[in-house]
Amino acid sequence: MPVYKYRDMQSVEVKMDGVKSASKAVVIGKREGWADYVLRVFRLEPGGYTPRHRHAWEHINHVIRGRGKLRLGDQIFELGEKDFALVPANTEHQFENPFDTPFEFICIVPEKGEY
């Protein structure tokens, strides 16, 4: 389907070591006809975070709502609504939400990064 309504998004809790109060929806990927990439939407509740990790592929992020922080190596960047970020391949990174409202962002990765 070429159009995916935000209201129809099906999020699931992210359950893995190093994660707190995070959910993810896979919105567009191979099933929808985009064979090489996957567009996901992450939501971090206040106090939530993703694991501090690195991998062999880059990803592109776009903030939908709220504010959060992105750790890239030794640097920390604050992100807000409508901001963009590129996480380079093999760079340690982590998203955090130290604020009091949900932090929601799009994350696009190569298909291999989803599985």
Reply yes or no on whether the pLDDT at 113 is more than 80: no
pLDDT band at 1 (very low <50, low <70, confident <90, very high): low
Domain boundaries, the chain: 8-36
Please give the single-letter amino acid code of residue 88.
P
- For residue 28, give both structure tokens: 């567009």
Please give the single-letter amino acid code of residue 99.
F
Burial 72-110 (b: 16+ CB within 10 A, else e): eeeeeeebeeeeebebeeeeebbbbbebeebbbbbbbbe
What sign for the dihedral angle of Cα 21, 14, 31, 82?
positive
**Range in 62-71, 89-98, 104-113 with the lowest mean pLDDT:** 104-113
Task: Pick left, alpha or beta for residue 18 (phi over 0 → left; psi -120 to 50 → alpha; otherwise beta).
Answer: left
pLDDT band at 115 (very low <50, low <70, confident <90, very high): low
Q: pLDDT tens digits, residue range 51-65?
A: 999 999 999 999 999
Specify the DSSP class assigned to residue 100: S
Burial class of residue 59 (count of CB atoms within 10 Å of its CB; 0-12, 13-18, 19+): buried
Asked if 106 and 39 touch (Cβ cutoff 8 Å), the reply is yes
Q: What is the pLDDT of residue 2?
A: 74
